[in-house]
């Protein structure tokens, strides 16, 4: 069966992706006391916001890896675009959920950073695919 999860470490990739998504959810939805040490200086907020980009780049790349293992007909561009959409959607859902978490706010700026990170993952996946195709062909 060419498209099973067992092909090419599919179960391991799925488990890693699920664990990473749970880690993102935990980090995004953990209540924060604004008066605590985690609460915040402007520098701490700036650094925290910058972490959105690599976090969602890694999420999009994780989705690419899983989708390529799950789908026999996965094309590089289509897979990367679907991975981008899934990572951006997940970022949007986590941002929306923050509206109900004490000490957190849903932020359009964070949503843009999440989407920007997913776009970086899209670009990385496309470039990686082209590079591997040119070295094999």
- For residues 11 and 55, what is the distance between their CA atoms, to the nearest angstrom? 22
- For residues 122 and 57, what is the distance between their CA atoms, to the nearest angstrom? 8
Tell me the per-residue pLDDT of 74-98, one tens digit each, with 9 for 90 and over: 667 888 899 999 999 999 999 999 9
- For residues 121 and 55, what is the distance between their CA atoms, to the nearest angstrom? 10
User: In this model, does residue 131 exceed pLDDT 70?
Assistant: yes
In this prediction, residue 35 carries a pLDDT of 65
Residue pair 109/46 in contact (Cβ under 8 Å)? The answer is: no
Tell me the per-residue pLDDT of 39-62, one tens digit each, with 9 for 90 and over: 556 777 777 788 999 999 999 999
């Amino acid at each position: 069966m060419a498209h099973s999860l067992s092909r090419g470490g599919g179960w391991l990739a799925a488990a890693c992706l699920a664990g990473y998504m749970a880690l993102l959810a935990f980090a995004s939805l953990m209540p924060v006391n604004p008066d605590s040490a985690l609460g915040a200086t402007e520098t701490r907020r700036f650094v925290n916001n910058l972490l959105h980009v690599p976090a969602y780049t890694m999420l999009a790349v994780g989705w690419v890896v899983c989708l390529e293992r799950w789908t026999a007909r996965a094309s590089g561009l289509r897979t990367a675009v679907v991975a981008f959409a899934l990572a951006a959607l997940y970022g949007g859902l986590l941002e929306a959920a923050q509206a109900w978490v004490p000490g957190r706010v849903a932020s359009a700026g964070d949503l843009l950073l999440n989407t920007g990170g997913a776009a970086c993952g899209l670009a990385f996946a496309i470039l990686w695919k082209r590079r591997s195709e040119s070295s094999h062909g």
